[in-house]
Amino acid sequence: MAQTTDTTYDASSITALEGLEHVRKRPGMYIGSTGVGGLHHLVYEVVDNAVDEAMAGHCTRIDVTILPDGGCEVVDNGRGIPIDPMKDPKLKGMPAVQAVLSQLNTGGKFDGNGYKVSGGLHGVGVSVVNALSSRLECEVDRDDVRHHISFHKGGKVDAKLSKVGKAPRGRRGTTIRFWPDPTIFESTEYRAQALLERFQMMAFLNRGLEIRFTDQREGHDHETVVFRYAGGITDFVKHINQSKEPLFRQVVHFEHSEENQEVEIALQWSTGYNSDGIHSFANGINTVEGGMHVEGFKKALTNVVNKYARLAKQLKDNDENLAGEDIREGLTAVISARLAEPQFEGQTKGKLGNVTMRSLVERATNDKLTEWLEQHPTEARKAVAKAVQAQRARFAARKAREATRRKSALEGAGMPDKLKDCSSRKPEESELFIVEGDSAGGSAIQARDPRTQAILPIRGKILNVERARIDQMLKNAEIQTLITAIGAGVGSDFDPAKIRYHKVIIMCDADVDGSHIRTLLLTFFFRQMKELVEHNHVYIAQPPLYSTVVGKEKIYLKDDGALARFRAEHPNHTKEFQRLKGLGEMDWDELGETTMDADRRTLLQVSVEQAAIADEVFAILMGENVEARKHFIQANAKDVRFLDI
């Protein structure tokens, strides 16, 4: 979709809003955290600038390399950051590249001349990378000349811009190398798999753009991974659906543009039951909360399919219209919007607010999808038939819910018998521990703070909701108990305002069965209570694996990594290390002290940063495609140390 623009890109395109201030003092304001997420954010900021060049039609390849010493190098073949003197009165005479790299809110994305479409509109990007690096180097190849400038801690120039020779073979573009400051970050160890997932998504969204990644660190695979997709988001949909059984082979694809706005949509139905498979982007940014482009698509999709169902006589005159959730069951769709002045709601850019984009997407979907259905009647009838089946299941689920309410007399009676509730009625301080097994549940009940901590034991493994429709799911006793205890409904009826506990904590044994139960629960929450995860209410308890004694004090160690660190720090320690038993075999006071006491425990918060990747992983791990699951496990085995569960 990238179109080469006729706009100039020189120092006059660069505008300075204000100088670089207190980034090092408050890095979380700019990159979210000083953990591994913030570390990766530095890489994304630099790569995003190169992707903006690609969206403008000037870049076809980006090379990202993790250097042996822990630095990161990003090379693109775009136009190269301008090197001529700034015209802006605040920075007059400073080379434009120096301004971009060292001045906060300085870049070519503010006045619309440098870039008509871009993701990074806040202008904090690469200057923040510089501020949080111990060293940064930049090479710019323009007009057959290579220019070089470098900075040291805090973005201070230590080698002014200079010509260092000819650009090799007439090359143009920008090379940035940076070394994150270890005094700022908790760790400077990149997670290769997380970076690869992000780069793959960028390649999907920019048809034909080639992104290469090489990890040169010791102990890592030095082979170069290449992402390039001629089909763009059509390939993205196929990738997400690789472990699902398609309802029909074709991927519906269309695009439409008006003035400074354009949208591209790809969609495909599978035989599965998930109805939350829409993944949206605006200028390459993952709009995880949706927005106007998603609203326009959903409205038009429901309208178009219902009209076709009536024309095809698959819905009779007296039949109720198909609901949006019926039509979206088994649907995977990628919506990629591009516009000159996006309005993102919230600091995280999670939701697109441009009303004109809603109208554009609605018109495009009404016209293009109607045309596609008319031209593919066999596939169209299959899509409608699936939606009709989903409607029947929805009606059955409604009856099941009503029966459950009558049976439990929820409005007047209490919670399920298995639930040992807390006395507090304030959700913000209340916690629900979902505990594997009755014996562990008994220990947890003794160990809890009864004012704020509720205990719900579950017996065995709950239903795998990846393979069940909601009407079947609601017949499962353990799932009914979960829904009732959390109190906010399920599926499309889920209301986050009614959540009874702001911490829902999964507490399972650290063995294979415990991991399986954890995954089943996470699948249920992600598919049927997604907002519970998105609002950061889901946690995983971290019971320790080992204990030992230092002096007269008993010390608990969370995992093998903690054990190794303890041994390295205490080389003369001679006491034994005890491998702790399962939760049900721990003394209640030991369980409370190590795993439940809010002052001493460690909880792992479950978050969904990239819903499309989470969708794909849940489908692979919990779906019916055994070969896809086997391949995923083999491909990711080397990164098992980075698993969060």
User: What is the predicted pLDDT for the residue at 619?
Assistant: 62
Marked catalytic residue, from 84, 374, 511, 576: 511
Query: What DSSP string describes 213-242?
Result: EEE-STTS--PPEEE--TTTHHHHHHHHTT
Give the pLDDT band (50/70/90) at residue 641: very low
Decide if pLDDT at 349 tops 70. no
Decide if pLDDT at 566 tops 70. yes
User: What is the predicted pLDDT for the residue at 153?
Assistant: 83
User: What is the predicted pLDDT for the residue at 355?
Assistant: 94
User: What is the predicted pLDDT for the residue at 639?
Assistant: 44
Cβ atoms within 10 Å, residue 520: 20
Question: Could you confirm whether 374 is annotated as catalytic?
Answer: no
Question: Could you confirm whether 158 is annotated as catalytic?
Answer: no
User: What is the predicted pLDDT for the residue at 221?
Assistant: 81
Give the lowest-confidence range in 179-188, 311-320, 401-410, 530-539. 401-410
Higher pLDDT, 100 or 112: 100
Marked catalytic residue, from 45, 137, 436, 615: 436
Exposure on the CB side of residue 284, measured as CA atoms within 13 A = 31
- pLDDT tens digits, residue range 441-458? 888 999 999 999 999 998
Give the lowest-confidence range in 329-333, 545-549, 597-601, 633-637. 633-637
Give the strand pairing for 261-269 and 72-76.
unpaired
> Alpha-carbon dihedral of residues 96, 98, 100, 106, nearest 10 degrees?
-80
Decide if pLDDT at 127 tops 50. yes
Higher pLDDT, 163 or 628: 163
Decide if pLDDT at 314 tops 80. yes
What DSSP element (H or E) covers 73?
A: strand 72-76
d(CA 113, CA 361): 26
Marked catalytic residue, from 210, 429, 513, 624: 513
Decide if pLDDT at 435 tops 50. yes
Structural contact between residues 603 and 433, judged by C-beta atoms closer than 8 angstroms: no
d(CA 217, CA 220): 6
Structural contact between residues 527 and 465, judged by C-beta atoms closer than 8 angstroms: yes
d(CA 603, CA 609): 18
Decide if pLDDT at 637 tops 90. no
149 DSSP β-pair partners = 138
Q: At what angle do helices 292-311 and 355-375 cross, to 10 degrees?
A: 30
Give the lowest-confidence range in 340-349, 599-608, 624-633. 624-633
Q: What percent of the chain has pLDDT over 90?
A: 50
Decide if pLDDT at 239 tops 50. yes
Give the pLDDT band (50/70/90) at residue 487: very high
Question: Could you confirm whether 511 is annotated as catalytic?
Answer: yes
Mean pLDDT value of segment 640-644: 36
d(CA 417, CA 528): 23
Mean pLDDT value of segment 295-304: 98
Decide if pLDDT at 401 tops 70. no
Decide if pLDDT at 43 tops 60. yes
Question: Could you confirm whether 436 is annotated as catalytic?
Answer: yes
User: What is the predicted pLDDT for the residue at 150?
Assistant: 96
Higher pLDDT, 87 or 379: 379
d(CA 16, CA 105): 6
Give the pLDDT band (50/70/90) at residue 108: low
Higher pLDDT, 322 or 93: 322
What domains are defined for the chain? 11-227 (3.30.565.10), 233-394 (3.30.230.10)
Higher pLDDT, 317 or 363: 363
Mean pLDDT value of segment 486-494: 86
Marked catalytic residue, from 45, 326, 509, 615: 509
Decide: residue 356, CB within 10 A, 0-12 exposed, 13-18 middle, 19+ buried: middle
Instruction: Please provide the average confidence, as pLDDT, over all residues in the chain.
Output: 85
Nearest CA to 43 out of 180, 152, 173, 155 is that of: 180
Q: Which residues, including other chains, have CB under 8 Å from residue 278's CB and lie 6 or more apart?
A: 290, 294, 297, 298, 328, 331, 333, 335
Higher pLDDT, 189 or 404: 189
Q: What percent of the chain has pLDDT over 70?
A: 84
Best-predicted range by mean pLDDT (2-6, 142-146, 437-441, 584-588): 142-146
User: What is the predicted pLDDT for the residue at 377?
Assistant: 96
Mean pLDDT value of segment 259-268: 93
DSSP E strand stretches across 181-306: 210-215, 225-227, 252-258, 261-269, 278-282, 285-286
